[in-house]
Amino acid sequence: MPYAVDFDTVSTVGLESSPAAVALAGLRANEARYFKNKYGHVFTVEPADNAGPTIDWVSRILTEERGIVISARPLEATTFQVENIRMAYVFYENGLSINVMYTVDDRGKRAVGFKLSDGMEVPTELASFKFARQKSKLAGTIRGSYFVIKNEY
């Protein structure tokens, strides 16, 4: 069942099995607030069992671009388009959030972003990345990194 993320009242709905559920819920709410404020988009996620194509697309990009295979179990995912940008998010049980920003126009910006929930360790798969810190009222301290997508997906 799809869940519209409420950033006014942060909820762990769908993330309960994560040891970082509260921090991950804050991270998810932070993303929801961004898309609502910037694009008027309601950020809606669905359980991983219902989001196979989205998870497969993100996994394919990670594998083909950088040889990255995420070992954590995906809990939720979403895909949507705002303006000319296709967005995909996968939220993992360990507290990791991965997003793909894929401009549908030729030669547009395309990147994979990683965000770590407050307090989580950097996953082994991402040890080679440098993470910058940002503060969020909803998510505490978020550490993030990214890489540019070079191929077509």
Ordered by start, the domain boundaries in the chain are 3-148
What average pLDDT does the segment 100-114 reach? 91
pLDDT at 51: 97
Match 């070992």 to its residue by tokens: 71
Exposed e or buried b per residue across 116-136, where buried means at least 16 C-beta atoms within 10 angstroms of its C-beta: bbbebebbebbeebeeeeeeb
pLDDT at 139: 87
pLDDT at 123: 96
> What separation in angstroms does the CA of 87 have from each of 8, 28, 104, 123, 130?
22, 14, 10, 23, 23
| DSSP state letter for 122 | P
Residue among 76, 58, 4 nearest 33 (CA)? 4
Percent above pLDDT 90 for the chain: 86
> What separation in angstroms does the CA of 5 have from each of 19, 41, 56, 82, 153?
19, 11, 22, 17, 27
- pTM, full prediction: 0.95
Cα–Cα distance measured from residue 88 to residue 98, given in angstroms and rounded to the nearest whole number: 8
Classify 77 as helix, strand or coil.
strand
